[in-house]
Amino acid sequence: QVQLVESGGGLVQAGGSLRLSCEASGRTFSNYAMGWFRQAPGKERKFVGAISWSGGSTYYADSVKGRFTISRDNAKNTVYLQMNSLKPEDTAVYYCAASVTFMTRERDQYDYWGQGTQVTVSS
């Protein structure tokens, strides 16, 4: 089992920045690829980005490419989502997830999920 806890959400004005953190406990963190997803009210949960187990590879949804950056610190069992140039349409609950297989945008390939952290971007 892997437990994931997100933090760092909050209210920010459009154009601002936030950094989300996701701390893992349980099994060896470096064994897992990590992903970030988000879910706006009334909408399905969507892929934001993912990072490989080593941190050497990342990829992002087109909607956040160039604005969001994922990184990880395996020594701290933590993955980060740096969000810059935030837009009102980025408002959502953000979830981190762990995949024992590979870095992917597919929700059903992730084995463990956090509880989410709310991000609200005001216009």
Q: Are 2 and 100 in contact (CB under 8 A)?
A: no
Confidence at residue 116, expressed as pLDDT on a 0 to 100 scale: 98
CA trace torsion 107, 22, 4, 87 (10° rounding) = -40
Statement: residue 38 has pLDDT above 90: yes
| Averaged pLDDT, 103-111 | 93
Confidence at residue 52, expressed as pLDDT on a 0 to 100 scale: 95
| Averaged pLDDT, 62-70 | 98
Q: Are 75 and 90 in contact (CB under 8 A)?
A: no
In percent, the amount of the chain with pLDDT more than 70 equals 100
- Averaged confidence pLDDT in the chain: 95
Statement: residue 27 has pLDDT above 80: no
Statement: residue 8 has pLDDT above 90: yes
